[in-house]
Amino acid sequence: MSALSPVDRLRAQALFSDHHPWLLGRLHDRLRNRAQAEDMASETFVQVISSERLAAIEQPRAFLTTVAKRVLYEFWRRRDLERAYCAVLEQLPESHMPSAEDRALLLESLDRIAQALDGLSDKARHAFLLSQLDGLTYQEIATQIGVSHGMVRKYMAQGWRACTLATL
């Protein structure tokens, strides 16, 4: 909060004190876990305050709800990704298990790639995953999703570009 002007600091403090209990209650109702709700409420306020739009907020609860939904979506997406990763790890023999540090780095990379793929259109994401996870050829993908072979090539380029940028 040190980068905020004195006026914005007061706005942020007022926003927090006026709406934190309400937001925490809503998040607790959704998550049924007090600690997670507190984390999500904190992350929501951090994002709101760092957005530099404090003066423009006309309906604080609507704005907080929108930001909190995004925070929750990211939390659930990451949790689902972690669960899928752990399920794959459980199938590995003990000798092939990555270290805790490697697991954390891999999970972080998977999260960045998942976020990058979320930025693609549905068809582009589907084509990329069919190629990379299911091993389908471009022609098989084109037939399955109902586009041309050239369009699949374009989708694959978009997918690779997104993944490359996500891992830099």
- Over residues 24-29, the mean pLDDT reads 96
Q: Using 50, 70 and 90 to split pLDDT, how confident is the model at 1?
A: very low
pLDDT in tens, 5-23: 888 889 899 999 999 999 9
Is residue 87 packed enough to be buried (19+ CB in 10 Å), middle (13-18) or exposed (0-12)? Answer: exposed
Q: CA 146 to CA 137: how far, in whole Å? A: 14
pLDDT of the residue at 133: 85
Q: Residue 2: how many CB atoms within 10 A of its CB? A: 4
How confident is the model at residue 22, as a pLDDT?
Answer: 97
Q: Which residue has the higher pLDDT, 2 or 91?
A: 91
| pTM (predicted TM-score) | 0.65
Q: 125: left (phi > 0), else alpha (psi -120 to 50), else beta?
A: alpha
Check pLDDT > 80 for residue 128: yes
- The DSSP H or E segment spanning 19 is helix 6-31
Which burial class, exposed, middle or buried, applies to 26 when counting CB atoms under 10 A from its CB (0-12, 13-18, 19+)?
middle
| pLDDT of 152 strictly over 90 | yes
Helices (H), 99-148: 100-118, 122-132, 138-145
Domains of the chain: 1-97 (no CATH), 98-168 (1.10.10.10)
